[in-house]
Chains A and B, each alone.
Chain A
């Protein structure tokens, strides 16, 4: 499974231009805050539409301005883990986890609830309401929820940003384990060099909306 992107777009005053490819493993999009990294993720997920270009996962085209292809988010099978977890407040943890799982045709599933719950260590949280979880717990549930939809590409937008040092250190091993278990590209956005150090297989540098370089970590 690999991932290709070559797009340009206007975002407010910004010109965004991103060209890179990603293989299974963690590709970090690294750059200062406000560099447009989250926008790039939004283009990939289908929440925003680029002006021109092409996005493909494992050969399947998600967006192509010349061929007029623009799949809606629900058909892209691109998982997205947000900075603020965004768990559904009116559903239990269990219902949150199974939300995408239930929408995935059984033949295409590769993630199973029992295993993911065990990997992320959230079995004791299943009956709770998201409101009563700590930031770290919410983030782990968010990761589980995204993975249980069996995505072909995983987007993570500064998932550790709202956590304190202790929680961060707690979660990093889970992310590493997921990278090892899933064989999909993971795009991980951060502005912290320490996270790059720890997680990256490949680093894509982003500044002022443009991809300025790509290197092995």
Chain B
């Protein structure tokens, strides 16, 4: 039942690659945003908050179109990345990773922000009265105490990317081996009559991977919480 065809294995492998890359790449961005929103006040804060949440409420196809406009080979950011870093997003797995990162960002930021807000500010004050500069307080107090939420945010982002479909297929289309992630492969298979069998198999694989990610995250979170340094 679990013998996957080469094409199916390719889709699984691509999904894992895209998921990991998108999670790692969005960690610094997500954390920076979460920290800003949790601890700082600045003009336009509600706007930033709104933009971060946008991928959660917009139809994924719309998000995909926006990505196409901005990061496609004709888009301003697409051209910029091509010229400055040599990175192309159009029709490449990097584009799939970008779509996954954008769609997972609201979940990541929300989880991280909640855990940073939960860190007692008074502990941060105490740390500063003991001689710690702001950044040292951040590294030794805020960061370790918000670690469970950071992990949860990262795992959620990874799991979300495993189910990402609309934005990805609109932005980078369906290219086996390059952008055909697991959800897109399942969708593609379902288009043909008699595709139910293989589709179910892949769907099951999808569920198993996501469950491993989520259960693993819980376990790590619990271990961090109950272990003092």
Contacts and interface: CB of A to CB of B under 8 A. Distances in A.
Contact of B129 (A78, A89, A104): A78
A104 B228 contact: no
Contact of B132 (A74, A78, A86): A74
29 contacts: A46-B129, A47-B128, A72-B134, A73-B128, A74-B128, A74-B129, A74-B133, A76-B129, A78-B129, A79-B130, A80-B126, A86-B120, A88-B126, A88-B127, A88-B141, A89-B228, A90-B229, A92-B228, A92-B229, A99-B140, A100-B130, A100-B131, A103-B130, A130-B228, A131-B228, A145-B130, A146-B129, A146-B130, A149-B131
Interface residues of B, number: 20
A129 interface: yes
A131 B226 CA distance: 10
Contact of B228 (A46, A84, A90, A149): A90
A159 B125 CA distance: 17
Contacts of B140: 99
Interface of B: 120, 122-123, 125-134, 136, 140-141, 144-145, 228-229
A47 B130 contact: no
Contacts of A88: 123, 126-127, 141
Top 3 A-B pairs ranked by shortest CB distance? A100-B130, A103-B131, A129-B228
A91 B229 contact: yes
A82 interface: yes
A95 interface: yes
Contacts of A82: 122, 126
A45 interface: yes
B85 to A, nearest CB: 38
Interface string A5-21: 00000000000000000
A82 B130 CA distance: 12
Contact of A72 (B127, B128, B136): B128
Nearest to A47: B125
Interface residues of A, number: 30
A45 B122 CA distance: 13
A77 interface: yes
B123 A86 contact: yes
A55 B163 CA distance: 59
Nearest to B133: A74
Nearest to B137: A74
Contacts of B129: 45-47, 73-74, 76, 78-80, 146
Given A77-B131, A88-B123, A92-B229, 13 more contacts: A46-B129, A47-B125, A79-B129, A82-B126, A84-B122, A86-B122, A89-B145, A90-B144, A90-B229, A95-B229, A99-B130, A99-B140, A145-B130
Nearest to A155: B129
A128 B123 CA distance: 19
Contacts of A80: 125-126, 129
A137 B150 CA distance: 32
Contacts of B128: 46-47, 72-74
A145 B144 CA distance: 20
Nearest to A92: B228
Interface in A34-93: 45-47, 72-74, 76-80, 82, 84, 86, 88-92
A149 B144 contact: no
A164 B40 CA distance: 39
Nearest to A103: B131
Nearest to B229: A91
B120 to A, nearest CB: 8
Nearest to B129: A80
